[in-house]
Amino acid sequence: MLSAAIIGGAGYAGAELTRLLLGHPEFELVAVTSARDEGRPVRDLYPALQACGLVYSAHDAEEVAQDAEVVFLAVPHTAAMAMVPTLLDAGRVVIDASADFRLRDAGVYSSWYQAEHTAPALLAEAVYGLPELWRSAIPGARLVACPGCYPTATLLAAAPAVRAGLVRSGRVIVDAISGVSGAGRSLSEATHYVSATESVAAYKVGSHRHTPEIEQGLGDLGLTDASVVFTPHLAPLDRGLLSTVYLEVEQGMSLDDVHAIYRAAYASEPFVTVCVAGGQPATGHVRGSNRAHIGLAIDQRSGMLVVTCAIDNLVKGTAGQAVQCANLALGLDETAGLTAPVPVV
C-alpha cells in the first residue's frame, strides 16, 4: 500500500477523492486536510463516508509531505502552486486537480486567472493528465496537472476527429451543460436550491477560464489555429456534464466513417464508450463513474460534425481522473479503484 493524502479534502472534489481512495486497493489514505473544517471528523461532514475514520487536519503541506507518498491537491488555483514546490522538494508525487499547472504558458495563465504564476519553472515539467489522449507522458511523472471538467469532455469529444484530420477549421464551438457541484461547496445565490432547481442559464459566455485550456489541447491534438467559442450552462443536476462540440468537416463525410474512426480510437479504452449510431449519451448514464460516453451526429447539409460527451464532472471531470493519473504515474493498474459498478438509475 502507498500512503496518500488529500490537501483540500472538504470540498466536493476532495470528498469524491476521499471516497475513491477509501475504496482503492493500493492506496492508504492517511490524511485529509481542510482549512475551514479542520478538526471535524470526515464522517460528520459527509455522513456517506461512514467508513472513513479520519479527521480533517490543518492545511500544512510540509506536514502532509512527511506522511504521504502521493499527495492529491483539491485546493483552488493559486493555493495549489503555493504548495507544489514544497511537496516536490520532499520527494512526493503530486496530483493537482487545480488549474495551476494545466496551461504551459505562464502569460496565458496570468491573463485568464488574474494572477502571476509563482512556480513557472515547473510548468514545463507538469504533465497534462488526460490519459486517453496523452497517456505515455504520465508514468513516472512527479507533477500531474489534471484537466478541467469541461476540457476533459470536450477534448475527448474532439480528439479522434482532429487526429484523423477531419476537421477543416480551427473555429470550434463548445456548448456545454454542467451540474451545480461544478460550482463547488461554497454558498451563493446561484447554488441555493430555490434558484437552481427547474432553471437553466448560460454563464461566463465567452469568458470561462477553461477556454484557453481547450484551445491548448486542440492544438496539441493537431488542430491549427484553434479558436474556441465556449458557452457553459448551469442546469439542475447535482453532478454531470455534457459537452456538445461543433466541428466543421468535409461535406459528404458519412456518419459510418466517423463512427469507425471514433470506435477505433477508443477501442481499448477502459473508460470510454462510443454510443451506437443514433445513440446519445446522457449524464445520468455516467453518474458516479469514471466513464465518458460519446455520441456522434453529422448535419449533412452543413458539413458539421456534432459530438457530445457526457461525464460526471466530479469523477472523470475531477477526482476519478486524478486517481487514474495517480495509478499511471505510480505504475499501478490504470483502473485500480475505479471499477466498482455505480448505481444505475
- Considering the complex, what minimum distance in angstroms separates the CB of residue 313 from a copy of itself? 11
| Residue 136 engages a copy of itself in binding (rule: CB under 8 A) | no
| Residue 92 engages a copy of itself in binding (rule: CB under 8 A) | no
Count interface residues toward a copy of itself (CB under 8 A). 90
Instruction: Please name which of 52, 88, 51 lies closest in space to residue 73, comparing C-alpha atoms.
Output: 88
Task: Compute the distance between CA of residue 147 and CA of residue 97 in angstroms, rounded to an integer.
Answer: 7
Of 139, 236, 251, 331, the residue at the interface with a copy of itself (CB under 8 A) is 236
What is the enclosing helix (H) or strand (E) of 264? Answer: helix 255-265
Of 132, 291, 322, 324, the residue at the interface with a copy of itself (CB under 8 A) is 291
Residues numbered 25 to 44 that lie near a copy of itself (CB under 8 A) are 44
Task: Compute the distance between CA of residue 279 and CA of residue 184 in angstroms, rounded to an integer.
Answer: 31
262 contacts: CB under 8 Å, gap ≥ 6 = 160, 161, 274, 294, 296
| Residue 340 engages a copy of itself in binding (rule: CB under 8 A) | yes
Q: Is 149 in the active site? A: yes
Residues numbered 176 to 235 that lie near a copy of itself (CB under 8 A) are 177, 179-181, 185, 187-189, 191-203, 205-207, 227, 229, 231, 233, 235
Task: Compute the distance between CA of residue 272 and CA of residue 27 in angstroms, rounded to an integer.
Answer: 24
Of 62, 116, 256, 299, the residue at the interface with a copy of itself (CB under 8 A) is 299
Please give the grid coordinates belonging to residue 237.
Answer: 443536476
Task: Compute the distance between CA of residue 126 and CA of residue 146 in angstroms, rounded to an integer.
Answer: 10
| Residue 290 engages a copy of itself in binding (rule: CB under 8 A) | no
Please give the biggest Cα pair distance in the chain. Answer: 62
Residues numbered 45 to 74 that lie near a copy of itself (CB under 8 A) are 46-51
| Residue 7 engages a copy of itself in binding (rule: CB under 8 A) | no
- Considering the complex, what minimum distance in angstroms separates the CB of residue 126 from a copy of itself? 25
Specify the residue for cell string 456538445.
Answer: 244
Please give the grid coordinates belonging to residue 171.
Answer: 473555429
| Residue 108 engages a copy of itself in binding (rule: CB under 8 A) | no
**Which residues form the catalytic set?**
149
